[in-house]
């Protein structure tokens, strides 16, 4: 990471990012690659077309951009993708960013499918990562293979165990899918809580074309909550971890359950997030098409000035809310970008 030109690194103490609805922006989700070693069927098609590598920002550019955001008041950075741990030398970026924890950056974290986490957990902890979000939709090996189109559950469970052993606080993310993992949800929650992990359920979102119609497997979390309350007591918690989840304490397990409900209950009013793709496109909203090109700014003759201009534009165009919906015909119109491009 020492190849970064000093002139491109903005000085700190600049004005914090605030959008036109007066929401302070403190949380960056940075996609480090659109590639992935799984093919979860709700996320991407079997034959996903990945971006040519030359379009993707170098690790130095990703680092440099991150410093620009820290200088403008971003305190939390989540590296995501695609699968962040398939990017070669990604540990270097974690190490470089980790040096800024306590000096502007408060938290460095990642979202991963955990297939390669066993080989990275200790290095992540050493770099200053304290929490990790791991996606796990099922603990049934055959169903996992069907859903992700790869027989990788053993590696994933090994990765989860390695994260725990390295002292990382684990949160599991589970996309709730009607007729797929619906019946297994209570078992997954029970298992996660037994391991000392939080678990957050997510409603499937219409992001990018896939082979199937997502609405067929859309499971509203209002229904899941009703079903869970038949067996457990769920007490709403005031906790806010900086993301869009609402939390509950499950009385019988003692664990924490999160719910992310972009369709049944919009979470936009408190949005503090922006997303940057692996090609340096800043999307101020996951559900909208608005974007500014940070790669062009970064590679221009006056990177510092152009980055400032691009960030101001991003603040001006961040929409008030997303418009995910199921329309009157019962269809879920998809945004053109896959979650793996914008970063989960």
Q: Report the residue number, 81 or 258, with the smaller CB distance to ligand SF4.
A: 81
- When binding is defined by CB under 6 A, the residue of 33, 66, 75, 80 that contacts ligand SAM is 80
Report residue 40 as tokens.
Answer: 């979860």
State the burial class of residue 123 (Cβ atoms within 10 Å of its Cβ: 0-12, 13-18, 19+): middle
Alpha-carbon gap, residue 80 to 59, rounded angstroms: 14
Q: Which residues pair with 283 in a beta bridge?
A: 275
Interface region with ligand SAM, contact rule CB under 6 A, candidates 17-25, 49-57, 75-83, 319-327: 75-83
Shortest distance, position 106 Cβ to ligand SF4, whole Å? 25
Cα angle 144, 248, 239; round to 5 = 110
181 binds ligand SAM (CB under 6 A): no
261 binds ligand SAM (CB under 6 A): no
Report residue 76 as tokens.
Answer: 């939390």
Q: Which of ligand SF4, ligand SAM, none sits in contact with 205, Cβ below 5 to 8 A by type?
A: ligand SAM
Interface region with ligand SAM, contact rule CB under 6 A, candidates 3-11, 190-198, 201-209, 222-230: 201-209
Interface region with ligand SF4, contact rule CB under 6 A, candidates 57-65, 75-83, 93-101, 205-213: 75-83
The CA distances from residue 306 to 60, 140, 221, 232, 292, in Å, are: 18, 49, 42, 53, 11
Strand 169-176 and strand 198-203: pairing? parallel
Shortest distance, position 41 Cβ to ligand SF4, whole Å? 8
The CA distances from residue 33 to 30, 53, 100, 293, in Å, are: 9, 9, 22, 16
Q: Which of ligand SF4, ligand SAM, none sits in contact with 39, Cβ below 5 to 8 A by type?
A: ligand SF4
What residues contact 54, with CB distance under 8 A and at least 6 apart? none
Interface region with ligand SF4, contact rule CB under 6 A, candidates 34-42, 125-133, 181-189, 302-310: 34-42
Shortest distance, position 343 Cβ to ligand SAM, whole Å? 7
**Nearest-CA neighbor of 224 among 266, 258, 254?**
258
Interface region with ligand SAM, contact rule CB under 6 A, candidates 46-54, 78-86, 98-106, 241-249: 78-86
36 binds ligand SAM (CB under 6 A): yes
Asked whether the beta carbons of 228 and 182 are under 8 A apart, the reply is: no
Asked whether the beta carbons of 12 and 71 are under 8 A apart, the reply is: yes
- 47 alpha carbon, distance to own chain's centre: 22
Alpha-carbon gap, residue 207 to 153, rounded angstroms: 25
Shortest distance, position 257 Cβ to ligand SAM, whole Å? 15
Among residue numbers 82 through 101, which ones bind ligand SF4 (CB under 6 A)?
A: 82-83
113 binds ligand SF4 (CB under 6 A): yes
81 binds ligand SAM (CB under 6 A): yes
Which chain residues interact with ligand SAM by CB under 6 A? 36, 42-43, 80-81, 83, 111-113, 135, 173, 175, 202, 204-205, 207, 339-340, 344
Which chain residues interact with ligand SF4 by CB under 6 A? 36, 38-40, 43-44, 81-83, 113, 135, 340
């Amino acid at each position: 990471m020492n190849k970064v030109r000093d002139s491109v690194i903005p000085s700190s103490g600049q004005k914090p990012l605030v959008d036109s609805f007066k929401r302070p922006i403190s949380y960056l989700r940075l996609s480090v690659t659109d590639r992935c070693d799984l093919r979860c069927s709700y996320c991407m098609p079997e034959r996903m077309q990945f971006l040519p590598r030359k379009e993707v920002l170098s690790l130095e550019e990703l680092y440099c951009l991150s410093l620009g955001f820290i200088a403008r008041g971003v305190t939390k950075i989540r590296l995501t993708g695609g699968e962040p741990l398939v990017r070669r030398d990604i540990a270097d970026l974690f190490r470089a960013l980790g040096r800024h924890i306590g000096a502007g950056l408060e938290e460095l974290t990642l979202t991963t499918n955990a297939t390669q986490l066993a080989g990275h957990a200790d290095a992540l902890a050493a770099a200053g990562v304290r929490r990790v979000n791991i996606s796990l939709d099922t603990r049934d090996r055959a169903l996992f293979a069907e859903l992700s189109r790869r027989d990788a559950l053993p590696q994933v469970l090994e990765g989860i165990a390695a994260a725990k052993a390295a002292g990382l606080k684990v949160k599991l993310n589970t996309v709730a899918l009607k007729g797929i993992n619906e019946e297994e949800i209570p078992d997954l929650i029970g298992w996660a809580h037994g391991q000392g992990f939080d678990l957050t359920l997510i409603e499937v979102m219409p992001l990018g074309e896939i082979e199937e119609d997502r609405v067929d497997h859309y499971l509203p979390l209002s229904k899941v909550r009703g079903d869970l309350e038949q067996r457990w007591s769920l007490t709403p918690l005031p906790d806010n971890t900086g993301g869009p989840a609402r939390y509950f304490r499950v009385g019988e397990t003692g664990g924490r359950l999160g719910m992310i409900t972009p369709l049944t209950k919009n979470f936009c009013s408190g949005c503090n997030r922006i997303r940057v793709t692996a090609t340096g496109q800043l999307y101020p909203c996951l559900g909208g098409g608005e974007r500014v090109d940070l790669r062009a700014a970064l590679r221009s003759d006056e990177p510092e000035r152009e980055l400032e201009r691009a960030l101001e534009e991003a603040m001006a165009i961040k929409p008030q809310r997303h418009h995910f919906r199921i329309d009157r015909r019962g269809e879920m119109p998809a945004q053109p970008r896959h979650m793996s491009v914008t970063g989960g």
